[in-house]
Amino acid sequence: MEKVRVRIYGQEYVISGEQSREHIMKVAGYVDSKMREIERVAKGGQTSILAVLSAVNVADEYFNTLERIEELNKSKEKLEKDVEHYIQMWEEAKKSFLQYKEDAQAVSLKKETLKNSLSEKEQEVDELRTKLAEAEVKAQKELETEMKKALDRLKEVEGNYFDLQMENVQLKSELERLRRA
């Protein structure tokens, strides 16, 4: 487990995680940049408000990513249906071709032309199947990458939320101590 000391919005934190030091620092840098970005818009805002707004922005990005994944899944399903339709059309065309071949057996030259055409079509189907398999693998990898990014963002938001809760508890304790004093 990696422990990394980072600075987010002027506050130093020690973050532990399974990811590499570079990854943890990248995440912390992202959170810091989000808080500073929001600070530029909401000048003079309290740190807790900036943190919540940053968390909302990150959650928005997360849900947008989920929507994009859903769109990619729908697109993939449509492509799969299209390929299935074309394969069915190909099978029907192949059956028709075979019937035609039986009817045209008397013409030797025509028969050779039809055989060559069939061979080319089968090669095209194999190429289409190969492309489909490649597209499915690529779509799956993209989906996994997007899911991993979304989960990483969610973990980051959860960590920030926990840190904010801890800071809130500390501030309340300090406020209560100051009131008593």
Quick: pLDDT tens for 154-176: 999 999 999 999 999 999 999 99
DSSP, res 3: E
| Residues near 70 by beta carbon (within 8 Å), at least 6 away in sequence | none
The model's pLDDT over 77-108, given as tens digits with 9 standing for 90+, comes to 999 999 999 999 999 998 898 888 888 888 88
Q: Which domains does the chain have, with CATH numbers?
A: 2-180 (1.10.287)
User: What is the number of residues in the chain?
Assistant: 181
The model's pLDDT over 29-68, given as tens digits with 9 standing for 90+, comes to 999 999 999 999 887 778 888 889 899 999 999 999 999 9
Strand ranges for the chain from DSSP E: 2-8, 11-17
DSSP, res 9: T
Residue 15: in which H helix or E strand, if any?
Answer: strand 11-17
The model's pLDDT over 102-139, given as tens digits with 9 standing for 90+, comes to 888 888 889 989 999 999 999 999 999 999 999 999 99
| β-bridge partners, 11 | 8
